[in-house]
Amino acid sequence: MCGIIGYTGSETAQEVITDALTTLEYRGYDSAGLALSGSKSRSIDIYKCAGRVSDLKSMLEKKMKPADREATCGVGHTRWATHGGVTDTNAHPHRVGTVTLVHNGIIENYRELTDEFRLKGKLKSETDTEVVAGVLDSFYAESEDPKKAIAETVKELKGTFALVVMFANYPDVVFAVRNVSPIVATQSPQGSMLASDLTALTRFTDRYFVLPEYTIAELHRSALYLWTLNGKPVEPEWLTMDWEKNSADKGGYPFYMEKEIDEQPEGIRKTVEPRLKDGIPDFSCDELDESILTDTEEITVAACGTAMHTGLVFQNLARKILHTEVNVCLASEYMYGEPVVGEKTLLIAVSQSGETIDTLEAVKYAKKRGARTLGIINVRGSSIARECESVLFTNAGPEIAVASTKAYTTQLSLFYLLIARIAYLKGIWDEDKVRDFTAHLCRTPDAVDEVLNIRKDIHIIARNILEASDLFMIGRGLDYAALQEGSLKLKEVSYIHSEAYASGELKHGPIALITEETPVVALATQESLLKKGLSNVREVRSRGASVVLFVKNAMSEGLEQEFNIVRLPDLPDEFMVFPAACALQLLAYYVSSDKGFDVDKPRNLAKVVTVE
Ligand code: AGP
């Protein structure tokens, strides 16, 4: 929910930190701040404000002390407010006594700690973070040992935290510790650096490690050390980024969202091709123990938002092809519904970031009850990836825009491979049938490309709905599943209240909301459902709705006389989700950009939701 940075090295800290905060701003952008030290002044100076990183940069230009311009050590933060309003005072970093820190997470017992450590008079903000600084300062006053103070403090904390800390008497050193909230770190000739995620580290190196939970990191200019809470040294487990360098840049696009929509054909190819051997899905590159697929009897998908929507498509295909029911659960609801979980349960956790705490908790809940767990994740080394028994990584590359696009289609492509593999392993399909299916899967990138080539037509459609406040998206079967994702895209980047509805259900109440000019986006790609689908579209149109119909080309003959249509490239019905998703992503993108919104950073949102 927030972006955190720590740096100490040979470079100018305020440049390194503000650059990194700009990269991390997608994680939260209510306010921004940094603390600098290691300069001649030897003091730790804080600069922070409500607003974006650009506002912080303007503040630095005007107010930064000359000595801080050469500062080579510091911490930084971009905030998504959880405790306390969006104000300069509540922005991070926070300082109490000798301790200055930034934090990502939620401290559940901060009120009790305020009383227990008699902090009331010392606090200026409404945040839980400042309380942690106060507790740390209290313990530091006793031991004057940063690592001991951190070790004692984390034992008092309940909740999730990634803390990056500076102590007044150690102006060139940055300390860190975490529980659930992510921290990755690296060491290079430019210095030692840690951040909430990899996108901020690519500037320096492709080597990194994930800070283990309840392990203290001590970063110096040319070395870094890890310690257990009782002071024993720990070796980092070094990993190598599988992203091309600066693939997290915007690459000349106005917004990351458009870039990432365009990257989908490549992302699908990079995800599928390494997992096909002579047309048969093969997960040996993932070192997948396939008993997870054959020895389980009940499959549950637990995920949030876009990731959950891929589960709806998988559920649809599993019924048709595997004759198996799949439960699809909102991860935030999963454990509270007391699901029936056992050793024959396969829990599939889908997550782009691999850090969504609701999904992480669902995995832990299922594991504790004996379930097998399989992750479909985009970020290596992420918390959910580390928690799952097995992981299939999408190869979408870094996804920066808050609105998830290429993660969706690459997650889908893995589900399609799983369907074909399970059908093969269970003898439901022979090799020819499997190869036929995967051949169509390999055509989905081209179909997405064809949609990208008609973006101008979709942009024109977008202009027709700019002023809408409410909108329906209607379809049946797989189209209804695809529209739930399309509707979320439009909602989150354009703020239009879009609702995806099974078109056959409208007449059971919601059609009462259709008035003159209510925009309706209809999707028709399932040949067996076309007739019924069109009659539902005619029902809303006869009540005044202004309809645009996204329809598979092969099914569109004559419809252009009757409707405003957008033709989608032809694939077999069960693959039409791919071109349909891309068309609906472009629709949402153009509405948002034509409304002049910051498409990549929609209001109230953050890219990674690490609070429950
Ligand atoms: C999707 O556009 C949203 N940003 C959001 O619903 C997202 O899909 C959800 O928070 C899950 O994130 P994850 O895939 O990183 O777990």
Give the pLDDT confidence of 352-387 residue by residue, as tens digits.
999 999 999 999 999 999 999 999 999 988 889 999
Quick check: CB of 305 below 6 Å from ligand 1?
A: yes
Q: Decide if pLDDT at 604 tops 90.
A: no
Query: Long-range contacts made by residues 508-517, C-beta under 8 angstroms, separation at least 24?
Result: 510/472, 511/539, 511/540, 511/543, 513/470, 513/472, 514/472, 514/540, 514/543, 514/544, 514/545, 515/543, 515/544, 516/544, 517/544, 517/545, 517/546
The pLDDT of residue 611 is 66
List the chain domain ranges.
Answer: 3-241, 259-446, 455-594
Quick check: CB of 585 below 6 Å from ligand 1?
A: no
* 3-state SS track over 148-194: HHHHHHHHHCCEEEEEEEEECCCCCCEEEEEECCCCEEEEECCEEEE
CA of 531 to the centre of ligand 1 (A): 34
- The answer to whether the beta carbons of residues 264 and 409 sit under 8 Å apart is yes
pLDDT band, residue 520 (cuts 50/70/90):
very high
Q: Decide if pLDDT at 132 tops 80.
A: yes
The pLDDT of residue 250 is 79
**Domain 259-446 matches domain 455-594 at the CATH topology level:** yes
Distances (CA, A) of 237 to 74, 184, 547: 24, 11, 55
Quick check: CB of 304 below 6 Å from ligand 1?
A: yes
Quick check: CB of 138 below 6 Å from ligand 1?
A: no
Among 306, 399, 489, 600, residue to substitute to test ligand 1 (most atoms within 8 Å of Cβ): 306
Q: Is 2 a catalytic residue?
A: yes
The pair of three-digit structure tokens given for residue 590, joined into one six-digit string: 């153009």
Q: Decide if pLDDT at 491 tops 90.
A: yes
Quick check: CB of 356 below 6 Å from ligand 1?
A: yes
CA of 459 to the centre of ligand 1 (A): 24
The pLDDT of residue 521 is 98
Locus of tokens 């009540």: 543
Question: Could you tell me what percent of the chain has a pLDDT over 90?
Answer: 85
Mean pLDDT over residues 550-578, rounded?
Answer: 96
pLDDT, one tens digit per residue, over 237-267 is 999 887 666 667 778 899 999 999 999 999 9
Indicate the burial class of 590 (C-beta count within 10 angstroms; 0-12, 13-18, 19 or more). buried
Quick check: CB of 609 below 6 Å from ligand 1?
A: yes
- The answer to whether the beta carbons of residues 146 and 165 sit under 8 Å apart is yes
Tell me the average pLDDT of the chain: 94
| Beta bridge partner(s), residue 100 | 95, 166
Quick check: CB of 399 below 6 Å from ligand 1?
A: no
CA of 585 to the centre of ligand 1 (A): 14
pLDDT band, residue 138 (cuts 50/70/90):
very high
pLDDT, one tens digit per residue, over 160-183 is 999 999 999 998 999 999 998 899
The pLDDT of residue 41 is 60
The pLDDT of residue 9 is 95
| pTM for the structure as a whole | 0.83
* Cα distance between residue 24 and residue 40, in whole Å: 29
pLDDT, one tens digit per residue, over 53-96 is 999 999 999 999 988 999 999 999 998 877 778 889 999 999 99
* Topology of the domain covering 3-241: Glutamine Phosphoribosylpyrophosphate, subunit 1, domain 1 (3.60.20)
Indicate the burial class of 574 (C-beta count within 10 angstroms; 0-12, 13-18, 19 or more). buried
Closest by Cα among 104, 103, 97, 101 to 119: 97
Q: Decide if pLDDT at 221 tops 70.
A: yes
Ligand 1 atom showing the smallest separation from residue 404 Cα: 2
Closest by Cα among 435, 420, 392 to 322: 420
Q: Decide if pLDDT at 38 tops 80.
A: no
Quick check: CB of 363 below 6 Å from ligand 1?
A: no
* 3-state SS track over 521-552: EEEECCHHHHHHHHHHHHHHHCCCCEEEEEEE
The pLDDT of residue 32 is 95
The pLDDT of residue 380 is 87
Question: Could you tell me what percent of the chain has a pLDDT over 70?
Answer: 98
Quick check: CB of 487 below 6 Å from ligand 1?
A: no
Among 352, 382, 488, residue to substitute to test ligand 1 (most atoms within 8 Å of Cβ): 352
- Residue with the smallest CA separation from ligand 1 atom 5 is 305
pLDDT band, residue 503 (cuts 50/70/90):
very high
Among 26, 304, 600, 608, residue to substitute to test ligand 1 (most atoms within 8 Å of Cβ): 304
Quick check: CB of 129 below 6 Å from ligand 1?
A: no
* Cα distance between residue 384 and residue 404, in whole Å: 18
- The answer to whether the beta carbons of residues 8 and 171 sit under 8 Å apart is no
Options 2, 49, 304, 329, the catalytic residue: 2
pLDDT, one tens digit per residue, over 260-317 is 999 999 999 999 999 999 999 999 999 999 999 999 999 999 999 999 999 999 999 9
Q: Decide if pLDDT at 206 tops 90.
A: no
Ligand 1 atom showing the smallest separation from residue 407 Cα: 14
pLDDT, one tens digit per residue, over 392-433 is 999 999 898 999 999 999 999 999 999 999 999 999 999 999
Quick check: CB of 307 below 6 Å from ligand 1?
A: yes
Quick check: CB of 352 below 6 Å from ligand 1?
A: yes
Total residues belonging to the chain: 612
CA of 71 to the centre of ligand 1 (A): 37
CA of 488 to the centre of ligand 1 (A): 10
Ligand 1 atom showing the smallest separation from residue 403 Cα: 2
The pLDDT of residue 517 is 80
Quick check: CB of 492 below 6 Å from ligand 1?
A: yes
The pLDDT of residue 406 is 98
Q: Is 304 a catalytic residue?
A: no
* Cα distance between residue 281 and residue 273, in whole Å: 9
Options 259, 406, 552, 607, the catalytic residue: 607
Q: Decide if pLDDT at 1 tops 90.
A: no
CATH architecture of the domain 259-446 equals 3-Layer(aba) Sandwich (3.40)
**CATH top-level class for 455-594?**
alpha beta
* Cα distance between residue 373 and residue 359, in whole Å: 12
* 3-state SS track over 22-49: HHHHHHCCCEEEEEEECCCCCCCEEEEE
CA of 606 to the centre of ligand 1 (A): 9
Among 328, 361, 609, 612, residue to substitute to test ligand 1 (most atoms within 8 Å of Cβ): 609
* Cα distance between residue 83 and residue 73, in whole Å: 27
Q: Decide if pLDDT at 481 tops 90.
A: yes
Ligand 1 atom showing the smallest separation from residue 356 Cα: 16
* Cα dihedral across residues 252, 256, 258, 264: positive or negative: positive
The pLDDT of residue 563 is 93
SS3 15: helix
Among 329, 330, 404, 492, residue to substitute to test ligand 1 (most atoms within 8 Å of Cβ): 404
Ligand 1 atom showing the smallest separation from residue 492 Cα: 2
Name the phi and psi angles at 556, rounded to 5. Answer: -95, -5
Q: What is the DSSP letter of 244?
A: P
